[in-house]
Amino acid sequence: MASAPDTASLLGTVPFFSSLDEKKRKSLVSEGKELSYKAGDIIVREGTMGVGFYLILDGKAEVRKGERILATLGRGQFFGEMSLIDELPRSADVIALSPTKCWALTSWAFAGLVRTNPEVALHMLKEMVKRVRAAQSSPTS
Ligand code: CMP
């Protein structure tokens, strides 16, 4: 597992946190936790209550609803925000496609992050809008 300074510099390289200065990133790192998964591991299970927000630091994960693949996410992309925002069960499974390293925040830390960093919240909104548009143009939606 990478040390805290390594995680801070890794977070600095992903667009999600590019609006934060180094000091903020370092303090944020101490609030989260690095988690590693093997290919095939279910990171988030549809229908369960959400307790975490995940940012992929390395690897790839697939968002699946039953047989349907909704998206493939990679380094710098996030998942798990929906359930934390509306406090409803997870909308889909998220499964590691390869050895995958995530940085995870509790729902409590996630709420603090979006409340105190409007740039991060805006970045997340833009990505969520992109996902809605992709779902609208998908032939299976
Ligand atoms: P959540 O519902 O908490 O858990 C499953 C996650 O999959 C969800 O949050 C989103 O982060 C992600 N997700 C759900 N639907 C899509 C989609 N159409 N495209 C990309 N990611 C999605």
pLDDT tens for 46-104 read: 999 989 999 999 999 999 999 999 999 999 999 999 999 999 999 999 999 999 999 99
- Mean pLDDT calculated for residue range 28-33: 88
**Cβ neighbours for 108, distance < 8 A, ≥ 6 positions apart:** none
Interval between CA 28 and ligand 1 midpoint (Å): 23
Task: Identify the pLDDT of residue 140.
Answer: 57
The pair of structure tokens assigned to 24 is 């903020």
pLDDT at 4: 60
Is residue 90 within 8 Å of 44, Cβ to Cβ? yes
Of the residues 77, 131, 133, which should be mutated to test ligand 1's pocket, given the most ligand atoms within 8 Å of the CB? 131
Residue 74 makes CB contacts below 8 A (sequence gap 6+) with 56, 59, 60, 61
Q: Does any ligand 1 atom lie closer than 6 A to the CB of residue 28?
A: no
pLDDT for residue 116 is more than 60: yes
User: What is the band of 3 on the pLDDT scale with cuts at 50, 70, 90?
Assistant: low
